[in-house]
């Protein structure tokens, strides 16, 4: 069974790029463009990992990470922040908010693959 990844990204081009790449890499994928759609996606199916844009238009993507960490069904689901915010202090804030890792935009797909493999492997233990 293919790992299922939820991409939470408000920019249609970034979302399409991530989803297409994930599918080529052998993942099953769905996407959400805002927090409401993301929470609905969780009701439909539990993802194996989430790629989360931390700035979703007017919404704070990190609030989804906080919500997930409080929910028993999702609190161990890996969250990889995907962001243009590259400063170390911002990355520390993302990790403190509940993200497991952070990948900067423009996306280094080798780094993203390594992070996904790392966190999905950790789930199987």
Tally of CB atoms within 10 A around 55: 14
Instruction: Please give the model's pTM, rounded to 2 decimal places.
Output: 0.95
Q: By percentage, how much of the chain surpasses pLDDT 90?
A: 86
Q: Is the pLDDT of residue 125 over 70?
A: no
What digits encode the pLDDT tens for the residues 48-100?
999 999 999 889 999 999 999 999 999 999 999 999 877 888 899 999 999 99
Q: Is the pLDDT of residue 3 over 90?
A: yes
Q: Average per-residue pLDDT in the chain? A: 94
Whole-Å CA distances, 103 to 5, 35, 79, 114: 15, 20, 11, 10
What domains, with CATH codes, occur in the chain?
Answer: 4-124 (3.40.50.2300)
Is the Cβ–Cβ distance between 82 and 103 less than 8 Å?
Answer: yes
pLDDT of residue 42: 95
């Amino acid at each position: 069974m293919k790992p299922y990844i939820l991409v939470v990204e408000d920019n249609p081009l970034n979302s399409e790029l991530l989803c297409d790449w994930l599918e080529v890499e052998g993942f099953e994928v769905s996407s959400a463009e805002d927090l409401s759609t993301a929470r609905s996606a969780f009701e439909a199916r539990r993802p194996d990992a989430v790629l989360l844009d931390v700035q979703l238009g007017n919404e704070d993507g990190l609030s989804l990470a906080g919500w997930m960490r409080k929910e028993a069904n999702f609190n161990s689901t890996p969250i990889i922040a995907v962001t243009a915010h590259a400063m170390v202090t911002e990355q520390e804030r993302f990790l403190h908010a509940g993200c497991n890792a952070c990948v900067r935009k423009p996306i280094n797909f080798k780094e993203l693959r390594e992070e996904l493999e790392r966190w999905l492997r950790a789930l199987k233990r």
